[in-house]
Structure 1
Amino acid sequence: MPMITEALTQALSHHLAGRLDEAKALYTLVLDADPEQPDALHFLGVLAGQVGEVAGGLALIGRALALRPEAADIHANRANLLRSAGRSPQAEDAYRVALALQPDFAEAWTDLAGVCRARGETDQAIVALERGLAANPDLAVAAERLSALLHERGRLLVDTGRFLPAIDPLARAAALAPADADIAFLLGNALFAVGLREEAIQAYRRAAALTPDFVSAGFNLGVALGRTGRLEEAADVLTRTARIDPSQVELLDTLVLSLVATGRVGEAADWAGRTLAAKDAATVANAPALPAMPPAPRGSRERRRDVLAYGLWGADEAMIRGAIGNARLAPTVHPGWTCRVYHDATVPAGALAALAEAGAELVALDTGTAALPGPYWRFLAADDPTVRRFLCRDCDSPLTMKERAAVKAWMASGHPFHIMRDDILQTELIPPGLWGGLAGLLPDLRPLAERFARAEGAHQEHRFLRRFVWPLIRGRALIHDGVHPGQGRPFPDGPFLEQVGAKLRPA
């Protein structure tokens, strides 16, 4: 017996060290001396499975179990071989026998979780892994697999907008894997979405500390800090993050806002210029295939009208007051131009009457069937076969003499299109209410805008212009820009105090 014990000890040492041939020889030697030695049968069966002899391994382990049916570890290893043979139902039964014999068998719980996960039973897998960790909190493989499952579950919940139920699995995953930046980031997103801003900030800080170049974590941390009134820190965090990746345009837009909010106007102007350059680079690199513009407007002979185009819907007081005011100003600021207002039935009848009395041309749109949301309506002037020149404007931005001078300079320049930017925060390549051009050069915008709005939303007209119009007109537009270095030419000189595109002040 001492010789058998010694031989088994040596065999197991070889086995654990990966010296399988030496281990097999000693196990076989033991069985030659005692064919019913259960440990030798067990371990030789495990070894057989390791070298691909699963059937032989199962037979050996079956003999071991016949001699020692109460041995949980032998049942668990039989389950491992059954699982490797693709016999998952039998493997699960064997794991459960092992666990019935030894409820604190952490490794068996962990392996059972793998079977449950493979058949799509994630809940059961999570329960099994929790049982395994309860039995042995130091079992690293159980902690790793549990954190991965909870991470996966939390991501799915966040991605589908179910933020509250995502918090518990992500918090548990973060406790199990405190060095995982993505888990901390997702937890921050869930916490922020349900209004737990301080907790979200802590999670974002952890993600950013773990992975200093994690741009999304830095961006969201900056946003969260801003939402909690820590504007200076938000601006600093966003600045650091933008330096890591200055191509992220949403990050850059938010940074410019934060710098303006903290009075850091010089920095804001610099970053706003970089924002425009980044948007230009990204837009050109990803431009859709669009037809080339013709050398001259289509149907030039029929195009005789110059149109100031507005879109108006609803009963918003500032929008209505601004539209009426602009209709009255138009003959003075842009003599010879028609003030056209695209509208729907949601505009009060009294407002429409006042617009008509002020000289506006009213174009009614049937929004019950139209696929084009209101913010895009003014772009329809570019499709009108009777229009020579068009200017797209915002109802709530009063026309100014500074604008008049800029438009006159454009018409004299020979450029087919015109863009204006007169505020640091105007970081769009084409501000939707401050552009215009010769009609008949662009492809019909309505079908493009309808498809875009269905996919992206009603209030994404700035992104529509960036994607579909900017690639066609960049290099063919006169850009008046007095605030972003290198992004256009200054506005014409004059005694102008107004800001082009400024919003109407409250009544």
Structure 2
Amino acid sequence: MSPLAQAPAIAPQPLPAAPLLQPGAAGQPAVAPKAPLSPLAQAPAIAPQPLPAAPLLQPGAAEPAAPAAAEAPRNTIVVSPAGPEPALNPLLTQAYAAFEANRLDEAKGLYHQLARAEPKNADALLGLAAIATLESSNDEASRFYLQILELEPRHALAQSGLIGILGRADPLAAESRLKQLIAREPSAFLYFTLGNLYADQSQWAAAQQAYFQAHHLEPANPDYAYNLAVGLEHVSQPRLALGFYRRALQLAAARGRSNFNLAQAQERISKLASQVE
């Protein structure tokens, strides 16, 4: 169960167009919001910086996904050899549960235990990379991603994780590689990473479009909704931004955690509401 849900291995269907970028409302300055971006990195006091990509959305980290058994396509007949299906290692389930409950020390210990028992378990390494990113240990996270790529050179999440960490060194190469990964296996996390890359370069129109795609593919993720709100503020769409800030808070409450500052999000809601409502 690899962190982050695996993206479909089929050609992406056209996603709905991102919200139209209408000119700012009368009297509204086209300036960037003062709220920081979602989890992942805190935004400067002047303008929110987008969340770094996820485990909780630190740059380049992928959030471990809950273990799930693969289902056969419906309306098809599947013939498989008799015998029990491979059992899911309980350590993986326990580690993920600890991660979800924000018990990172416990999760790290369980992922390490699993990695020692199964050195080629990419899910364990991906979980460790996610935790290392949350702890701002980018060198350690990079090491885990590289271990995964030694086992599976085409592992999209490990590749995008490294891009998220190293992208600032060569943003053009990082953008090109991310687009290749999206064309092959589109996923919310890849679009989110691309949005952060654009935001780092203040390309807010492109960042907003990428965040919209991430939110479209994973609408229950509060961090994606939050970064989309920040992007919309940067392109002078206060009314749309207000709706997504509210949505981000609703999703964070439903999930029980988020990577962005809830108080700052509420502050943005109050300020935008006073302007557009």
TM-score (ref. length: structure 2): 0.48
Bigger radius of gyration, 1 or 2? Answer: 1
| Structure with the bigger percentage of helix | 1
- Higher RCO structure, 1 or 2 (CA under 8 Å, sep 6+): 2
TM-score (ref. length: structure 1): 0.28
